[in-house]
Structure 1
């Protein structure tokens, strides 16, 4: 059983002015500093609005301290409480805290310099108890920018298997902490769910059909999403509902094309129906991205993240590799070497290594196509259906896509990014590049390569083979993705519900610890899943017009399941904010532009008799293609512009912030003659 020597208690109760989001920010910074110092940490949360970080010092340091100070018993909680009630100043020392007034004063100044808290005797200061032997070890780690005021922090020594974290309400150890540590459950960092908002969001997620039909979860639900998860996650759900709602139109066009192909005789009717469907798809892609850009601006304005310069700090998340800067010039204040930068040459070399690894992964994806093609030939020679090889290829593609996320995370850690945004972008670029090639390589082979190399596509014409392959791949991706996404989370939720009775703080913390973990890249993976799904819908639309309908059915389920998964089946995540999801929508817009070329190539070079039919009416084809180009230009031209009402509100905000009244300090505003007409 792990023995921890220090407990840090973050209190976000109703009596404090500290919000849960602030506590999470503080906790992440503390965990990062402890990790940088090589200290082992653990984290537990309780229903009494307290979050506890446990710190274990190295064995040699702990033994030295125990031998030097005789620290073999836990701190006397009652003595701490009596001294805390008798004075509002800070204390530090061993169990006999601050015997003299001079010692108490020096301790107060020390802790004030560590935590950045001011105030003297009689001031309403938070209490901080610091065991003297660990004062020197922890003081450099707890700089003034690590904590935010107001905040109640209790630092105490944990020894002999007993928790010495002080509960300021009754002087007893925090309920449930010893048992959680003893069972080994105190190993995670997460806030507890807010049951009120959790129930409201679960109610909003129940009707996926209504969400898709109305293009949103409802204005109040979107507000609660932003407050509960942060705007980064809220943007994902708003984009999911918006995209799924627009899929209705493309799915209707696809089903109409299926009906025309099934009922009309082969010839000009089918050829021009496919050309019209391709033109509609191009218009749909452009208008989807343009309409989302307008809605995104309004949402960012409503949530207060519009035009924010930087929403994520330089300090990395505790769940990813910390930034390891190179030693530079000495800081004239602290005398320490500045490690806030990383040499550009070293970064370029590491990025080059990442590109080589990406090329190697792409080679594996292409070899996967060759392997399953050989399996397909052997199956056909043995008289077995070739669809077995197609399904096997689709399953292999799915697991290669999943593996790419782990590889990209390791490469992003090696590239040593200082900002979370740069770290996420590196993962997104790597995974998107690989998944685009891996997911569509087999379909492109069937469409444009197989006939040239093999003289045909078996018993089907190549155009029908493209549609068959695309539908099989897409259906397998949707089935496996939803199954693997829901299965572990559902089992974890069931185990958590049966683990312990409700109502006890320790049981609540243990039950929510048993839920599935929510990684920081969780939303990134969801965005990538929608982006690849978007490609399946549009890149081969004329050959597989039923794909948008399958995507619509899947997204009706996703709109319900993804939200329920986060509020009922996973641990809560600290709130993260974002100003935009433009990188994801730009990827969709690029796929839409590529879809114009792929669908045109399918019609002209793959569809049976397509070139002859379309060449007979060159004027009509030219008009349709010109319209597609005009719509694409319209979408790209307006891509960087915000809606007029949002631009007007931004101008108003800038004007208000530029006035003297807003720039005055509180003292200046309170001075006579200020603020009067």
Structure 2
């Protein structure tokens, strides 16, 4: 293949490059031809029915790139298959139906702006992921790369090293406009969430929406925490009031977020997207069978085998890691004891500073252990072979959360409730907060940005040496983006917010400045994450999302744990103990009564505040009513059709005549 551009489709078809597929060096020609045929073949023949252009970047290195796009009609049909929801002329959101396309707002025949670029790339990604083997026994040209009916072709090509990567292209003009509004200017105004969602998709839009909301929600606790920390530390009445406000705050902000999230996702069209027929994830493998619900061909896998893998392998692995975490915590307390003994002996400035060293070392070790464990948990969860991406994410989040809660909070619980040392608790909490924030900003933002800038300079100089006059801008863009790191997803970002929420809701009554540090962290996170999305990582594929998923349950569970923790801390305070000098049982019963009262208040607030606003409830109910009426009409027509075919022939002719005359 000569250097340049070769088109595999008729030249009259419109082509807009959306997705890049990079092949490994020296991939055999028959493999390339087979892959191209699979991508362009019709759906009924087992292909994707997409458009593709291919060219070799460097003849010396045999570096082959495929650019994948789709015709406007193919993208609209893909939007219907994906279940995308769009606004209709009457203002209601409804699932997109190709035959009714002219009823939707802003739809113009042939206009590419009806679907966002992120939605188009999501449609292509789904088609490529669902490209599965039929009769092939192996990848053509590579007999060792085995295939079987139902196996994901792209997953096999990637695990065999034949496909290096698949990623969506940036739109340079849209990205430039977004960065100007997003992070190039420091301003007090809110983030352009709708514009972020339109460019990066629902998942990213929801994350930045939650990050912004959580930051604003932390401000009242931070404003209350500063005067409390400096002026009311030993005041029992204010101590109780602050702890109670903390519990109410942790409940109210989550319930208000549900309402805000439902309104936002309804406007985006993802709140009412149907998830019952979610496609199998690309990594799911098994014997090819028929889905009894949809009637489609897809891999099948025994749920019993998956359950055995979870309980016989995954659960023991998690328990072993938890034991290791507790053992490391024991080493930390041994170092803490040694530092305290040394300080009592020396009573010097150096010995006082040395008191913070064990906590700093422990905070660094926690971060390292969390990252290693997450990598192992991803491998283990993938090995469990979950059919749906949502199920995979739920099991992964559960594994990681259990370990992170034990790894990050076990030492604080031990200090608070076993050692009963509130001074050491404040010191450890402050050290963990500050150290983890510094490490996260360095590892997640500054280091990747610095490395990417160095890489970009080398790549630009390499591209210029190719001296290609045609397609130079596109070539340079592909070169730059394909050397960027893949976006790791929002998992680590949500986990960081979850841990911050835990520090604030669990122990801010002991260390009120926790909310202040959380606000400062989130403010820097807003700009550093925006920089990463636009300049450091590849553009991620969009994925429809109606909420933050299992993380909502995680935050609510942490809120319940916060009630128990704060009530116990109240019961441990000297002022409360002084009220029950004769009977510790009375103290325990009183604390338990307060705890149950606050839990009841928490659940009452959660019940009283609806998850959706009245307006959204009415619109969703209206859509469900329309769907039910449409189903009734369809059933009536089917029954009528059967009656006409089974009744007298003249009656059928009369019906046909009436139908023709009335159109």
- TM-score computed with the length of structure 1 as normaliser: 0.67
Q: Which range is displaced more, 579-588 or 270-279? A: 579-588
Q: Distance in 2 between matches of 1:507 and 1:185?
A: 23
Report the Cα offset of residue 163 of structure 1: 7.9
- CA pair 394-233 structure 1, distance change in 2 beyond 3 A: same
> Structure 1 residue 524 and structure 2 residue 425: aligned?
no
> Structure 1 residue 363 and structure 2 residue 313: aligned?
no
| Preserved CA contact (<8 Å) 2:262 2:612 | yes
Report the Cα offset of residue 526 of structure 1: 0.9
1:115 aligned partner: 41
Describe how 1:551-590 pairs up with structure 2 within 5 A.
551-590=518-557
- CA pair 274-512 structure 1, distance change in 2 beyond 3 A: same
2:273 aligned partner: 308
Describe how 1:238-257 pairs up with structure 2 within 5 A.
238-257=209-228
Deviation string 1:276-319 (CA, Å, 9 cap, x unpaired) is: 001101111111011100011111111111122229953434xx
1:401 aligned partner: 370
Describe how 1:476-555 pairs up with structure 2 within 5 A.
476-499=435-458, 500=460, 504-519=473-488, 522-555=489-522
Q: Distance in 2 between matches of 1:402 and 1:625?
A: 35
2:285 aligned partner: 324
Q: Distance in 2 between matches of 1:464 and 1:310?
A: 50
> Structure 1 residue 610 and structure 2 residue 536: aligned?
no
Q: Distance in 2 between matches of 1:188 and 1:253?
A: 49
| Preserved CA contact (<8 Å) 2:24 2:162 | no
Report the Cα offset of residue 430 of structure 1: 0.6
Two-structure CA RMSD over aligned residues (Å): 4.4
Report the Cα offset of residue 203 of structure 1: 2.3
2:605 aligned partner: 635
SS of the residue 1:309 aligns to? coil
| Preserved CA contact (<8 Å) 2:15 2:51 | no
SS of the residue 2:485 aligns to? coil
1:202 aligned partner: 179
- CA pair 567-111 structure 1, distance change in 2 beyond 3 A: closer
1:650 aligned partner: 620
Describe how 1:410-429 pairs up with structure 2 within 5 A.
410-429=379-398
Report the Cα offset of residue 446 of structure 1: 0.8
Give aligned pairs, total.
Answer: 519
1:153 aligned partner: 52
| Preserved CA contact (<8 Å) 1:9 1:165 | no
Q: Distance in 2 between matches of 1:259 and 1:222?
A: 37
Report the Cα offset of residue 495 of structure 1: 2.0
Q: Distance in 2 between matches of 1:469 and 1:372?
A: 11
Q: Distance in 2 between matches of 1:167 and 1:513?
A: 12
Report the Cα offset of residue 674 of structure 1: 6.6
2:139 aligned partner: none
1:127 aligned partner: none
Structure 1: runs of 5 or more not aligned: 28-42, 45-52, 67-73, 76-91, 93-109, 118-142, 169-183, 452-461
Describe how 1:205-220 pairs up with structure 2 within 5 A.
205-206=182-183, 210=187, 216-217=190-191
| Preserved CA contact (<8 Å) 2:261 2:547 | yes
SS of the residue 1:324 aligns to? coil
Match of 1:236 among 207, 210, 216: 207
Deviation string 1:342-384 (CA, Å, 9 cap, x unpaired) is: 2122111110111111111111110011111112222333344
Q: Distance in 2 between matches of 1:234 and 1:359?
A: 35
Q: Distance in 1 between matches of 2:543 and 2:11?
A: 21
Deviation string 1:239-271 (CA, Å, 9 cap, x unpaired) is: 100111100011112113213335xxx4xxx11
Match of 2:229 among 258, 261, 265: 258
Deviation string 1:204-259 (CA, Å, 9 cap, x unpaired) is: 33289756xx6x41xxx222222221111111110100111100011112113213
Deviation string 1:10-69 (CA, Å, 9 cap, x unpaired) is: 99999637783xxx5xx8xxxxxxxxxxxxxxx34xxxxxxxx569767xxx7xx89xxx
- CA pair 248-209 structure 1, distance change in 2 beyond 3 A: farther
- CA pair 147-625 structure 1, distance change in 2 beyond 3 A: same
| Preserved CA contact (<8 Å) 2:200 2:542 | yes
Report the Cα offset of residue 647 of structure 1: 1.0
Q: Distance in 2 between matches of 1:189 and 1:365?
A: 37
Describe how 1:65-104 pairs up with structure 2 within 5 A.
none
- CA pair 486-660 structure 1, distance change in 2 beyond 3 A: closer
- CA pair 418-164 structure 1, distance change in 2 beyond 3 A: closer
- CA pair 603-326 structure 1, distance change in 2 beyond 3 A: same
Match of 1:466 among 425, 430, 448: 425
- CA pair 8-340 structure 1, distance change in 2 beyond 3 A: farther
2:402 aligned partner: 433
Q: Distance in 2 between matches of 1:286 and 1:361?
A: 31
Q: Distance in 2 between matches of 1:14 and 1:496?
A: 38
> Structure 1 residue 286 and structure 2 residue 251: aligned?
yes
Match of 2:260 among 285, 290, 295: 295
- CA pair 285-163 structure 1, distance change in 2 beyond 3 A: closer
Report the Cα offset of residue 604 of structure 1: 1.2
> Structure 1 residue 16 and structure 2 residue 5: aligned?
no
| Preserved CA contact (<8 Å) 2:55 2:65 | yes
| Preserved CA contact (<8 Å) 1:656 1:662 | no
Report the Cα offset of residue 542 of structure 1: 1.2
- CA pair 512-657 structure 1, distance change in 2 beyond 3 A: same
| Preserved CA contact (<8 Å) 1:9 1:153 | yes
Structure 2: runs of 5 or more not aligned: 69-160, 344-350, 465-471, 638-655
| Preserved CA contact (<8 Å) 1:324 1:339 | no
| Preserved CA contact (<8 Å) 2:252 2:605 | yes
| Preserved CA contact (<8 Å) 1:11 1:18 | no
Match of 1:382 among 342, 348, 357: 342
1:97 aligned partner: none
Q: Distance in 1 between matches of 2:495 and 2:606?
A: 22
| Preserved CA contact (<8 Å) 1:538 1:592 | yes
1:191 aligned partner: 168
- CA pair 314-608 structure 1, distance change in 2 beyond 3 A: same
| Preserved CA contact (<8 Å) 1:391 1:473 | yes
Q: Distance in 1 between matches of 2:545 and 2:500?
A: 23
- CA pair 366-622 structure 1, distance change in 2 beyond 3 A: closer
| Preserved CA contact (<8 Å) 2:39 2:51 | no
Report the Cα offset of residue 588 of structure 1: 1.2
- CA pair 551-12 structure 1, distance change in 2 beyond 3 A: farther
SS of the residue 1:597 aligns to? helix
